């Protein structure tokens, strides 16, 4: 791959993640507002979903800033870039996994709280479950693309 193509791909990755970051901030504001603006207000950060979700959000922010400063702008030397790359790849997959887990937990807790006949397998409950399965297939697709299936230097 030539250098121009590589730079274009990096830019596309950075801009996509910036858009995701902006959407995440809006979604988090909505989540906190939905608690704080209720009368009486609902306590914040008491569910496992919110803990995993906020952890994912903070890690995502750090990942974006480190990616921007180290990879996109030539501030760092080649040694630092090479050293950070495996961490960036590892934490990228971790954050992706955390976001999937948070989404599943959010769907599940909301279904249990808000769908009174969830156990009767009615339309709304099935829709939520299908959404959860779609998140699963999305996750399988992305992790498949991330895997390298390296057949070299394997001792069989």
Under the rule (CB under 6 A), what is the footprint of ligand HEM? 24, 28, 31-32, 35, 44-45, 47, 49-50, 53-54, 56-57, 99, 102-103, 106-107, 109-110
User: Least distance in Å: CB of 145 to ligand HEM?
Assistant: 20
- What's the rounded Cα separation, in Å, for the pair 98 and 54? 10
CB of 148 to ligand HEM, least distance (A): 27
Neighbours of 154 (CB within 10 A): 6
Comparison of 70 and 99: residue with beta carbon closer to ligand HEM? 99
* Cis preceding-peptide flag for 137 (omega within 30 of 0): no
For the CB of residue 137, give the shortest distance to ligand HEM in the complex, in Å.
15
Give the shortest CB-4-to-ligand HEM separation in angstroms. Answer: 34
Cβ neighbours, 10 Å, residue 36:
11
Smallest separation, CB 112 to ligand HEM (Å): 10
Toward ligand HEM, which CB reaches closer, 16 or 83? 16
Q: Which is nearer to ligand HEM, 14 or 61 (CB)?
A: 61
User: Which contacts (CB < 8 Å, 24+ apart) does range 23-28 have?
Assistant: 24/57, 24/60, 28/54, 28/57
What residues contact residue 92 under an 8 Å CB cut-off, 6+ apart? 63
Q: What are the tokens at 106?
A: 């959010």
Nearer to ligand HEM, 49 or 63 (CB): 49
Q: CA quadruple 92, 95, 101, 105: dihedral positive or negative? A: negative
Residue placing its CB nearer to ligand HEM in the complex, 70 or 102: 102
């Amino acid at each position: 791959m030539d250098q121009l193509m590589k730079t274009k791909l990096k830019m596309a990755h950075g801009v996509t993640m910036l858009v995701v970051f902006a959407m995440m901030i809006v979604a988090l504001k909505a989540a906190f507002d939905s608690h704080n603006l209720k009368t009486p207000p609902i306590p914040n950060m008491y569910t496992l979903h919110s803990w995993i979700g906020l952890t994912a959000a903070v890690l995502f922010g750090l990942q974006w800033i480190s990616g921007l400063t180290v990879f996109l702008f030539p501030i760092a030397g080649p040694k630092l870039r090479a050293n950070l790359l495996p961490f960036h790849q590892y934490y990228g997959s971790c954050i992706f996994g955390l976001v999937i887990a948070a989404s599943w937990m959010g769907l599940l807790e909301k279904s249990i709280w808000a769908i009174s006949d969830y156990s009767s397998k009615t339309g709304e409950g099935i829709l939520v479950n299908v959404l959860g399965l779609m998140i699963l297939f999305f996750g399988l697709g992305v992790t498949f693309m991330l895997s390298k299936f390296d057949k070299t230097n394997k001792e069989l």
